[in-house]
Structure 1
């Protein structure tokens, strides 16, 4: 079944019809049409471009991946790029799905680069708000953006939980190498996530401009709610990025502290070992010395070795070097 829908006067009239039938309704101002393309070929895009009068630069942006989230304004339509995000809590890796949207007066076209973004969730969101369907494309676009931004919100919460767990592991007796690997993976995911989230503030704010005539007055509060969520996610992302950087710096500081502690212990033991070495080396000279070739000489050197070693050990323990 094709992902297509036809609303007439705010009522769902048809769905699942072939994309080729869109041209039969696109000129009717009473209709609001949506259809979805997943990984379309250049030929598919050429067909819809001719049907809807889409600008060739917008079509080129669809064919070239990794566009920045943006809103481009053309004479006959708007072109929107957003990203649906998926997060793997096991590996800490983030996967992004580019979603391009063509917005005309009474048609909404979504173009997904792959099927990782759940378009069925968008349909369920529309069905849950049927009373708003009378607002046409403004209603359809809101449902899509609401799902995308809610997905961002869920991911930032998952990232927050992961980073909180890292903080708990940071002060374990012996932090594992896995902690360092996970920290770098989360930092990389946050940087990628930030690139897809921060421009959304500008995108949503531009959509709400009155001169674009995209958001109807009755839908403005709903778009404002989406905008508030975008701001919260953006601010949360910045704070988590700083927190991950602090965790990394703390981990490096702990490694330096442990290295210093180990060096103090090694140095202290070396000093203790140096005393008997010095004494036995001195008495080992091929010259007569007090107590030479007598038992008193052995016991004197032994007492000096033990006394000096114990004295150094006690002194180092008081300074917490051992």
Structure 2
């Protein structure tokens, strides 16, 4: 289902009109239009492709999934591909949703690859900054890019919190490393995925301001600079978190090694405790005369020696923290 908007001289004059009427307003001065389509095929894009003069390569990219974030410059328009990113609230799994955008001097066409892209959030930003609508398509594009980059920052913040949770669990008194290792692995994968969708946005923003200079007027230029600053901020934090995740992995290996050392000390200590009665009973089992041989009191003396020596070793190892 397509959604449309028509701005004239910075004022929203029409909404959800028939997309076929877009061509009637292309030559009007002071007009900016928006068309949104979700999961269209090439046949759905055929009408606007002819009306807006969209390049067939850009149309193919808009239909096919898994494009890398980019900005392509064509003679009559710009084509932009980007991703929003969300972290699952109960795991470290990263979810992304792709959007393709055709940018012409008078029209912004958004093509969502799946319904999970919340276009209502973009519309809300336009409504909250309606005083900037006189900037036309540059205003519409800014609202979209601002939302996309903000999802990257939110995802970075969520992953940062999950790293802190893993750190706290890692240094708890009783540590179960298996679930922590799984969480750490998912975290590193999420950071890698976020880097792939957030990192190229710097070049995208620079390209918009360079090739779309006719769209970004003096009013919108500071707002685009603010979005670009957010891109640099998110990219820097992603790199810092990747380094922190690598350090976290090294810490996990250190904790695992320490746990193994403790286990080895415990095994060795118990082996020492068992060695004492083994020595005594082995000695008394020889065919030699010894005090108390073939007497009841000799048996009890040897048993007492075994018990006292074993308890003494156990207490000594316990005091040293080996058991």
The residue number in structure 1 matching 2:245 is 244
CA offsets 1:264-287 (integer angstroms, 9 cap, x no match): 1111111111121122112212x2
- Aligned partners of 2:235, 2:197: CA distance in 1, in Å? 10
The residue number in structure 1 matching 2:46 is 46
The residue number in structure 2 matching 1:5 is 5
The residue number in structure 2 matching 1:110 is 110
The residue number in structure 1 matching 2:278 is 277
The residue number in structure 1 matching 2:22 is 22
* TM-aligned CA deviation for residue 28 of structure 1: 2.9
Kindly report which structure 2 residues correspond to 1:118-157, keeping only aligned pairs within 5 A, or say none.
Answer: 118-157=118-157
* TM-aligned CA deviation for residue 304 of structure 1: 4.7
- The runs of 5 or more residues in structure 1 that have no matched partner are none
* TM-aligned CA deviation for residue 138 of structure 1: 0.8
Residues 1:61 and 2:37 aligned together: no
Q: Is the partner of 2:261 in helix, strand or coil?
A: helix
Task: Check whether the contact 1:89–1:162 (CA below 8 A) recurs between aligned residues.
Answer: no
* TM-aligned CA deviation for residue 15 of structure 1: 1.3
Task: Check whether the contact 1:42–1:63 (CA below 8 A) recurs between aligned residues.
Answer: yes
Residues 1:224 and 2:225 aligned together: yes
Task: Check whether the contact 1:86–1:96 (CA below 8 A) recurs between aligned residues.
Answer: yes
For the aligned residues, what is the CA RMSD? 2.2
Which deviates more from structure 2 when the two are superposed, residues 289-298 or residues 40-49? Answer: 289-298
User: Alpha carbons of 1:74 and 1:212: their partners in 2 closer, same or farther (altered >3 Å)?
Assistant: farther
- Aligned partners of 2:42, 2:236: CA distance in 1, in Å? 38
- Aligned partners of 1:151, 1:317: CA distance in 2, in Å? 53
* TM-aligned CA deviation for residue 319 of structure 1: 4.0
User: Alpha carbons of 1:158 and 1:211: their partners in 2 closer, same or farther (altered >3 Å)?
Assistant: closer
- Aligned partners of 1:293, 1:124: CA distance in 2, in Å? 97
- Aligned partners of 1:306, 1:127: CA distance in 2, in Å? 83
Task: Check whether the contact 2:42–2:60 (CA below 8 A) recurs between aligned residues.
Answer: no
- Aligned partners of 2:158, 2:314: CA distance in 1, in Å? 50
Which deviates more from structure 2 when the two are superposed, residues 304-313 or residues 245-254? Answer: 304-313
* TM-aligned CA deviation for residue 57 of structure 1: 1.4
Q: Is the partner of 2:17 in helix, strand or coil?
A: coil
Residues 1:261 and 2:262 aligned together: yes
The residue number in structure 1 matching 2:87 is 87
Kindly report which structure 2 residues correspond to 1:272-311, keeping only aligned pairs within 5 A, or say none.
Answer: 272-285=273-286, 287-291=287-291, 292-294=293-295, 297-298=298-299, 301-302=302-303, 304-306=305-307, 308-311=309-312
User: Alpha carbons of 1:154 and 1:133: their partners in 2 closer, same or farther (altered >3 Å)?
Assistant: same
Task: Check whether the contact 1:29–1:106 (CA below 8 A) recurs between aligned residues.
Answer: no
Normalised TM-score (structure 1):
0.91
- The runs of 5 or more residues in structure 2 that have no matched partner are none
CA offsets 1:196-238 (integer angstroms, 9 cap, x no match): 1111111112212267433212211000000111111111112
Which deviates more from structure 2 when the two are superposed, residues 298-307 or residues 162-171? Answer: 298-307
Normalised TM-score (structure 2):
0.91
